[in-house]
Amino acid sequence: MAINLLDYDSKGLVEFCTEIGEKPFRARQLLRWIHQAGKTDFADMSDLAKSLREKLATKAIIELPAIISDYEAADGTRKWLLSVGSGNGIETVFIPETTRGTLCISSQVGCALACAFCSTGMQGFNRNLTVAEIIGQLWIANNALEVSEGDNRGIRAHKAVTNVVMMGMGEPLANFENVVTALELMLDDYAYGLSRRRVTVSTSGLVPAIDRLRERCPVALAVSLHAPNDALRDQLVPINKKYPIKELLAACQRYLPDAPRDFITFEYVMLDGVNDSIEHAKELAKLTKDTPCKFNLIPFNTFSGISFKRSKSESIRIFRDVLMQAGYVVTVRKTRGDDIAAACGQLAGQVKDKTRRTAPTVRICQ
C-alpha cells in the first residue's frame, strides 16, 4: 500500500527516505516541493533524480481531501467542504483581512465534547483526522489563494494564509499526536514557515493535553471558557465536569512560560440571558485576575435546532466595558461568513455519527 507523504513531518520524511535507501536531505526537498510548491506529482519535482522520482511513484502518494464544495461569502470569507471518506465531510474557512489571512482548520470529523451552543458538537463524532487531512486543509487553501507566481524553481514565494487557528470542527487536543505533527509542518521553514505566534490551538479545556502541548509544541493558546463559574460552564461546556475551571486556569498558568505570547486568549460566546450579565462580567474579571489573558467576546451565531440567541449589542458593549475597566484587553469578534454558515460555531460538515448521541436538552440555571 502506497504511503501518503502528507502524513509525514520532517522527521517522518527523513525516516522514509532512509528506508528507501535515500539520503536524509531528500526529505527537505520533498517538503519544499509538496508544501511550498504545491506539487502532488513526483514527475514535477525537477531537482530530484529521475530514478528517485520513479521510485517514489511506486512507493508513495501525495493525496489530499477532495473538495466537495467551495463557497465565498459577500465579505470575502471562503469555506471549503472537504471529503474525508465514508460519507464524511469537514469544513475549512479562510478569513481575509487587510494585514493578514487567517485559516480556520478542522481536527476531527464532528466532535465528542457536545458543547451546548456549537453546531459541530450537535452533529456527533465519527473519528480523528489524519495528519494528511489536517495539513491538507492548509495545502488546499494556499494553492487556491496563491497571490504570486513564485520564483524560477516553481516554489511559490508568497501565500495568502499568514495565520492558522485550530478552531474548526473538533477538539484539537483530543487528536493530539496528529495535530502536533501537523503543527510542526506549519512551523517548518521547509514547509509553511509560520511563526508560533501566528498558529493558535483552541481547546475546550483538556488539561493534561494542554500540559503535553506545552512540552511538545507550544504555540499560541486559546481556551473556550464561555462561563465565569463551574455551575454554568458544566452546562455549556460538559468537559468542565472532568476538568473544572480551577484546574484549567492552573494549566494555563503552567503553559505561559513556554508560550510564544505572554497571555492566554479566553474565548467567550455571548448568549442572550445566559452568560452575558454585568454580574457575569464582574465574576469573570475576578476569576481570571491571576492569569495573564485577553478576552475575545464572540457574538453567538445561530443555527437550526438551537434555542440560544445572540446577546444584544448593548449587552455585549456593557460586558466588554466591565472587563476593560478591570484592566483587560478585550476584542469583540466580527462575525464573518455567516451568510455561508462559516461563522464561529456554525461549522457542521457531514458527519456519520458513531456516538449515537441524541441532541441534549440544555436547561440553564441562572
353 in any annotated domain: no
Question: Do 73 and 56 share a structural domain?
Answer: no
* CATH code for the domain of 26: 1.10.150.530
- Structural domain boundaries enclosing 207: 66-340
Residue 92 domain-assigned? yes
Which pLDDT band, with edges at 50, 70 and 90, does 351 fall under?
Answer: confident
Q: What is the pLDDT of residues 131-141, one digit of tens each?
A: 999 999 999 99
CA 22, CA 19: separation in Å to the nearest integer? 7
Q: Which of 141-150, 217-226, 345-354 has the lowest mean pLDDT?
A: 345-354
The mean per-residue pLDDT over the stretch 111-118 comes to: 91
On whether the CB atoms of residues 205 and 264 are closer than 8 A, the answer is: no
Give whole-number Cα distances, 233 to 137, 215, 278, 295, 364, in Å. 31, 27, 17, 16, 10
Residue 196 is which amino acid? Answer: R
Q: Is the pLDDT of residue 236 over 50?
A: yes
Cα separation, 310 vs 363, in Å, equals 17
Do 121 and 56 share a structural domain?
no
Flag whether 255 is in a domain: yes
- Here the cell at position 43 is 514527475
121-130, 146-155, 333-342: least confidently modelled range? 146-155
Mean pLDDT to the nearest integer, 23-37: 97
**118 inside domain:** yes
Q: Are 182 and 214 in contact (CB under 8 A)?
A: no
Q: What is the largest CA-CA distance in the chain?
A: 69
Looking at the predicted structure, is the pLDDT value of residue 346 above 80? no
CA distances from 130 to 10, 187, 280 (A): 16, 18, 39
| pLDDT tens-digit readout, 205-225 | 999 999 999 999 999 999 999
In this structure, the answer to whether residues 53 and 72 fall within a common structural domain is: no
Q: Are residues 188 and 330 in the same domain?
A: yes
Domain presence at residue 347: no
Res 366: pLDDT: 37
The answer on 173 and 34 residing in a single domain is no
289 and 327 in a common domain: yes
- Work out the pLDDT band at 151, boundaries 50, 70, 90: very low
CA–CA gap between residue 245 and residue 229 (Å, rounded):
7
* 320 and 199 in a common domain: yes
* Residues 113 and 11 both lie in one domain: no
Same-domain status, 12 and 116 = no
3-state secondary structure of 31: helix
Q: Are residues 164 and 41 in the same domain?
A: no
Write the pLDDT tens digit of every residue in 276-309: 999 999 999 999 999 999 999 999 988 877 889 9
The answer to whether residue 363 is domain-embedded is no
Q: Exposed, middle or buried by CB within 10 Å (0-12, 13-18, 19+), for 50? A: exposed
The model's pLDDT over 66-99, given as tens digits with 9 standing for 90+, comes to 999 999 988 889 999 999 999 999 999 999 998 9
What single DSSP character describes residue 210? H
Mean per-residue pLDDT, 14-36: 97
My answer on whether 45 and 86 are in the same domain is: no
pLDDT single digits (tens) 56-68 = 999 999 999 999 9
pLDDT tens digit string along 182-195?
999 999 999 999 99
Q: How high does pLDDT run on average in the chain?
A: 91
* Domain-located, residue 241: yes
Give yes or no for residue 354 having a pLDDT over 90. no
Check which CATH number belongs to the domain holding 244 and give it.
3.20.20.70
Residue 289 domain flag:
yes
The total of structural domains in the chain comes to: 2
DSSP for 40-60 reads --GGG-TTS-HHHHHHHHHHE
Q: Which are the catalytic amino acids?
A: 91, 344
pLDDT for position 148: 44
Closest CA to 206 of 181, 224, 232, 233: 224
pLDDT, average across residues 149-153: 44
Region class of 148: left (phi > 0), else alpha (psi between -120 and 50), else beta:
beta
124 and 99 belong to one structural domain: yes
